[in-house]
C-alpha cells in the first residue's frame, strides 16, 4: 500500500522549487577569476578553508563573490577570495558572481576593504596596510579614507600608527598573538627594543591590554616624608658644631648622616675635626 504523504509532514505537500537566483548574479568558470592584487587580506587558514569547502560540497556556494572585469580579459576578485579558494577545493567548475565595474585601483581596494571590514575578516595590521595603500600610493587623505570605509578619521589615524611597530611585532598582531589594543599601547613606546621586550612578556605571560598599560605607566614615587622635629634639631646642632651643612636620613632601620663640603680644604678640616685633631 502506498504511504500517505501526510506522514512526511506538510513540507511533502509543497513541490520543491529551485532556489531563486539573485538579480545580477551570473555563473562564471573559476579559472577565469584571478585574485585581487590589492586584496588587503593576506591570511587564509587551511583549516578554515577546508571546513568551508566541505560546506560548499554539501550545500553549494550560497553567497556569490564580487568581481570586476580585468582589462586583459577574465575577472578580478573584489570580495570573496576565501569563498573562491574554498570553491576550488570543493571542486566547483563554475561559481556565482556579481560583476561590479571598478574605475581603478582605488575602487578595487576600497571595495575589497569595505567588504572585509563589514565581515570583520581583516587583522588590525591588514586593515592598517590597506589604509596605507589608499593614503600613500593612491593619494587619498585620511578624511577621504574614513568617508569611503565608514569610519572616523581618528580610527584611520590610529590604525596607520600600528605600521610604526617593528615588522616582527606586526606579525605577532597578524597572527593573533597580540591584539590591536596591545599594538596601540606598544606604539606609544619610543624604544624598539623596549617594545620587543614588552611584546614578548605579553605573549609569554599572557598579559592583558590593561596589564600592559599599567607596565607603561611611569612609576609613582612615594611622597617623601619630611624629617621629624627632633631629627631636624639634631642636624642643626651637628651643623653648628662642625661648621657645615648636615643631613640626617632615617630608614626603617638605621639611616645615614651626610656631611657636605665645598672645597678640598673644607674636607681636610672636617677630617681633622672628626678625627680629634682639632678642638
In this predicted model, what pLDDT tens digit does every residue of 8-53 receive, in sequence order?
Answer: 443 443 344 444 455 578 888 888 888 766 555 556 667 667 887 8
CA distances from 30 to 3, 37, 60, 79, 223 (A): 44, 17, 14, 14, 71
Q: Confidence class of residue 204 from pLDDT cuts 50, 70 and 90?
A: very high
In this predicted model, what pLDDT tens digit does every residue of 179-195 receive, in sequence order?
Answer: 989 999 998 888 888 89
Cα–Cα distance measured from residue 25 to residue 132, given in angstroms and rounded to the nearest whole number: 32
In this predicted model, what pLDDT tens digit does every residue of 51-101 receive, in sequence order?
Answer: 878 888 877 887 788 787 877 778 877 777 778 888 888 888 888 888 877
The answer to whether 80 touches 66, Cβ cutoff 8 Å, is yes
Structural domain boundaries of the chain? 23-121, 229-274
Contacts of 89 (CB under 8 A, 6+ apart): 49, 50, 53
Say which CATH topology domain 23-121 has. 3.90.1530
Q: Over 52-74, what HEC string results?
A: HHHHHHHHCCCCCEEEEECCCCC
Q: Confidence class of residue 127 from pLDDT cuts 50, 70 and 90?
A: confident
C-alpha grid cell, residue 15: 513541490
pTM of the full structure: 0.48
What residues are annotated to the active site?
81
Cα–Cα distance measured from residue 56 to residue 41, given in angstroms and rounded to the nearest whole number: 21
Q: What does the mean pLDDT of the chain come to?
A: 75
Amino acid at each position: 500500500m502506498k504511504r500517505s504523504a501526510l506522514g512526511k509532514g506538510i513540507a511533502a505537500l509543497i513541490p520543491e522549487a529551485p532556489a531563486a537566483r539573485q538579480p545580477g548574479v551570473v555563473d562564471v568558470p573559476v579559472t577565469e577569476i584571478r585574485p585581487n592584487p590589492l586584496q588587503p587580506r593576506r591570511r587564509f587558514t587551511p583549516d578554515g578553508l577546508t571546513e568551508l569547502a566541505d560546506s560548499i560540497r554539501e550545500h553549494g556556494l550560497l553567497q556569490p563573490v564580487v568581481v570586476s572585469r580585468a582589462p586583459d580579459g577574465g575577472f578580478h576578485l573584489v570580495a570573496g577570495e576565501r569563498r573562491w579558494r574554498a570553491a576550488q577545493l570543493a571542486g566547483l567548475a563554475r561559481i556565482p558572481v556579481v560583476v561590479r565595474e571598478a574605475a581603478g585601483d582605488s575602487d578595487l581596494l576600497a571595495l575589497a576593504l569595505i567588504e572585509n571590514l563589514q565581515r570583520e575578516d581583516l587583522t588590525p595590521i591588514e586593515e592598517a596596510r590597506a589604509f596605507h595603500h589608499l593614503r600613500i600610493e593612491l593619494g587619498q587623505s585620511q578624511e577621504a579614507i574614513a568617508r569611503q570605509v565608514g569610519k572616523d578619521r581618528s580610527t584611520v589615524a590610529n590604525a596607520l600608527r600600528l605600521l610604526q611597530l617593528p615588522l616582527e611585532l606586526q606579525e605577532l598582531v597578524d597572527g593573533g598573538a597580540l591584539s590591536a589594543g596591545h599594538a596601540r599601547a606598544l606604539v606609544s613606546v619610543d624604544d624598539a627594543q623596549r617594545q620587543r621586550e614588552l611584546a614578548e612578556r605579553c605573549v609569554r605571560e599572557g598579559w592583558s591590554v590593561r596589564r600592559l598599560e599599567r607596565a607603561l605607566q611611569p612609576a609613582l614615587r612615594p611622597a617623601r616624608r619630611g624629617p621629624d622635629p627632633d631629627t631636624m634639631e639634631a642636624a642643626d646642632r651637628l651643623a653648628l658644631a662642625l661648621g657645615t651643612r648636615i643631613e640626617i636620613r632615617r630608614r626603617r632601620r638605621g639611616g645615614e648622616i651626610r656631611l657636605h663640603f665645598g672645597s678640598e680644604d673644607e674636607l681636610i678640616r672636617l677630617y681633622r675635626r672628626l678625627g680629634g685633631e682639632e678642638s
